[in-house]
Structures are given as structure tokens and as C-alpha cells.
Structure 1
Amino acid sequence: MADIFDVIADGTRREILQLLLRRSSETDTGTSVSQIVAALGVSQPTVSKHLKVLREAELVSVREEGQHRFYSLSPEPLEQVDDWLVPFFVEEGDFEDVAAQLEPVQLPEPAARAAEAVGRAAASAKNVVQSALKRLGA
């Protein structure tokens, strides 16, 4: 799978994502390729090429209906971008201030296991990003 930052670096792909985001509140059925072509004013082959990249990055899902394809936004992969950006907008002390104000909560066992799994996944992702940044010399 392509790096999410490479995928969203292209302006046409960002326009497609924004269009799908706007249309997602209007309809649950998805947006056809012809609707995307008309809205963006670019050729059908160009839109199809970009939709393929977005599909491979799992940023869009497709529903086939006969010969027509209807695309919907799948924003979950963008969480990687959000996770990477957050430290640039949040002061380090802010996390401690918020944590100090929170009351301890006892989670039910299934929720505690899920939270632990999420925490491990987040730590693993952090390590992957830090390793990648070190390899890039950042």
C-alpha cells in the first residue's frame, strides 16, 4: 500500500476526497464516477486513475451496480495523518493538564482489553513513525 502522505499529496485526489466528504452527508448510496467527473471538470480516465490509488490506500470504498461504480469515503486511514499532525498543534504540557483533570474510570473488562489493545497499537505505530523519521534523518 502506498504511503498515505504520498496519496493525499496529489491535489486531484484531495479534491475527490473533499467531494466525497461533502456528498457523504447528502446520500448514503455513494457518488458515481460520472458525478465526480462533472463536479471536478477532469477527464474520466484521470478520475479513474486517482480513484484506483485512493481505493488501494483504502480511503474510498466502491459499490458496483451493473456497469456503474459508486464511491464512498473511508476516512480511517487518515487517522495516521491526524496522529502525525497532532504533536505539532498541541503543547506537550497540554496532555498532562487534561489528564490531571480527568477522574479515574473503571472500565468493564471487555472495554479494558480493547483499550489495552488500542494502546499497544498506538505505541507500535509511534515506534514505526519514529524509526521511519530516524531513517529519513529527521
Structure 2
Amino acid sequence: MADIFDVIADRTRRDILRLLLDRSSAGDRGTSVSHIVTKLGASQPTVSKHLKVLRDAHLVSVREEGQHRYYSLSAAPLDEVDDWLVPFLDDNGAAVPDDGAAAALPDSAAHAAEVVGRAAASAKHALENALKRLPGR
């Protein structure tokens, strides 16, 4: 299985995951490849290639109905990312350097680290809320 960080490093795959998260939050039981193609403005072969990578990483599940395939988010593999990221965040979701190196960072880099930390915490919170709404949770 591919390293989860390599899988989510690709922008298109992150866009697909976000789309599936949004759709699952709205109660959708699966999203068709054609819907993903339309929403992302990408070609069908490109979307299919990325969906295969996401399937192989167990980040999406697929349900087949006739000739159609419907994809859903399977966020459990993202726990590894969460486990890796949490030590870098304080209780408020701001980035915390593990060795005091922030003092040596220029103000712009320290600010960027804080913004990334808040964004990560916000994404984690949104994912947790969405997972609570999924059937069987």
C-alpha cells in the first residue's frame, strides 16, 4: 500500500476527497465518477486514475450498480495523518514547534505555521463531524 502522505500529496486526490466529504455530509450514499468529473473539470481518465490510487489506499469505497460506480469516503486511513499532525498543534489548533525553533523563524514563516496549524485543526474538526453523520457510526 502507498504511503498515505504520498496519496494525499496530490491536489486532485485531495479535491476528490473533499468532494466526497462534502457529499457524505449532505447525506449522499455515493458519488458517481461523472459527477466528480463535472465538479472538478478534469477528464474521466484522470479522475479514474486518481480514484484507483484512493481505492488502493482504502480512502474510498466503491459501490457498483449496473455499469455505474459510486464512490464514498473511507476516512479511517487518515488517522495516520492525524496521529502524525497532532503533536504539532496546541489545544487551540495553532502550530507548536517541538524544539523552540519558532523563535528563529521570520515572522512570515511563524505566521504561516500558525495558519497551517489552524487550518489543520479546522479540517480535523470538520472531518470528525462528517464522520459522525455517516451511516453506521
Q: TM-score, normalised by structure 1?
A: 0.64
Q: Percent of aligned pairs with the same residue? A: 77
Which residue identity is paired with 1:16?
I
Structure 1 distance, partners of 2:71, 2:40, is 15
Partner-residue secondary structure (3-state), 2:29: coil
Partner-residue secondary structure (3-state), 1:5: helix
Deviations 1:18-72 (A, max 9, x none): 0000000223420000000000000000000000000000000000000100000
Partner-residue secondary structure (3-state), 2:69: strand
2:54 is the alignment partner of 1:16: no
Q: TM-score, normalised by structure 2?
A: 0.65
Give the structure 2 partner of residue 58 of structure 1.
58
Structure 1 distance, partners of 2:20, 2:66, is 21
Please list every run of 5 or more consecutive structure 2 residues that lacks an aligned counterpart in the other structure.
92-137
Whose radius of gyration is greater, 1 or 2?
Answer: 1
Question: More deviation in 71-80 or 22-31?
Answer: 22-31
Deviations 1:81-129 (A, max 9, x none): 00000001138xxxxxxxxxxxxxxxxxxxxxxxxxxxxxxxxxxxxxx
Which residue identity is paired with 1:31?
T
The total of aligned residue pairs comes to: 91
Structure 1 distance, partners of 2:13, 2:23, is 15
Please list every run of 5 or more consecutive structure 1 residues that lacks an aligned counterpart in the other structure.
92-138
Bigger helix share = 1
Structure 2 distance, partners of 1:58, 1:90, is 29
Which residue identity is paired with 2:8?
I
Instruction: Give the superposed CA RMSD.
Output: 1.1
